[in-house]
Amino acid sequence: MNSMEKAKVLVIGAGPAGVGVAIGLARRGIKPVILLDRSERVGGVPSLYKVKRGGVPTFVLWTRGRVIFGQQMAERLAQKLQGSDIEVWLESQVSEISPQDKKVTVVSPNRGRFQVSADAVVLACGAREKTAAERGWIFGSRPSGLLFLKNLLDLMDHCGVRVVSRPIVLGSDSTAFTAAAILRNAGASDAIVVDRSHKPHCSLPARMYFRRWAKPVYHEGAPAVTVTGTQAASGVTLANGAQVHGSTIMICGDFIPNTELLLTGNLQVDLTSRRAVVGSDFQLSSRGWFAAGNILGDYHGAEWCYFNGRRVARRVADYLSRPDNRAKYPSPV
Q: What is the pLDDT of residue 331?
A: 38
In contact, 122 and 22? CB cutoff 8 Å: no
**pLDDT less than 70: residues of the chain:** 1-2, 158, 160, 163-164, 326-333
In contact, 291 and 259? CB cutoff 8 Å: no
Q: What is the pLDDT of residue 165?
A: 78
Q: What is the pLDDT of residue 41?
A: 93
Q: Where are the domains of the chain?
A: 4-128+255-325, 131-251
Tens of pLDDT, residues 160-173 = 677 667 899 999 99
β-partners of residue 115 are 4, 105
Alpha helices by DSSP H, listed for the chain, are 16-26, 70-81, 132-135, 149-158, 174-185, 204-210, 260-264, 302-321
What CATH number does the domain located at 131-251 have?
3.50.50.60
Q: What is the pLDDT of residue 115?
A: 96
Q: What is the pLDDT of residue 2?
A: 53
Closest CA to 176 of 41, 299, 73: 299
β-partners of residue 283 are 290
Mean pLDDT over each residue of the chain, to the nearest integer: 91
Is 4-128+255-325 a domain of CATH 3.30.9.90? no
Instruction: Report whether the peptide linkage leading into residue 200 is cis, meaning its omega lies within 30 degrees of zero.
Output: no
In contact, 319 and 282? CB cutoff 8 Å: no
Strands (E), 1-82: 4-12, 33-36, 59-61, 66-68
Please list, in sequence order, all residues whose beta carbon lies within 8 angstroms of the beta carbon of residue 125, skipping any fewer than 6 positions away.
Answer: 12, 13, 257, 258, 259, 261, 295
- The burial class, CB within 10 Å (0-12 / 13-18 / 19+), for 331 is exposed
**Share of the chain residues as helix, strand and coil, in percent rounded to the nearest 5:** 30, 25, 45
SS3 at position 18? helix
pTM attached to this predicted model: 0.91
Q: What is the pLDDT of residue 145?
A: 85
Q: How far apart are CA 193 and CA 276, in angstroms?
A: 31
Q: What is the pLDDT of residue 31?
A: 93
Tens of pLDDT, residues 288-305 = 999 999 999 988 999 999
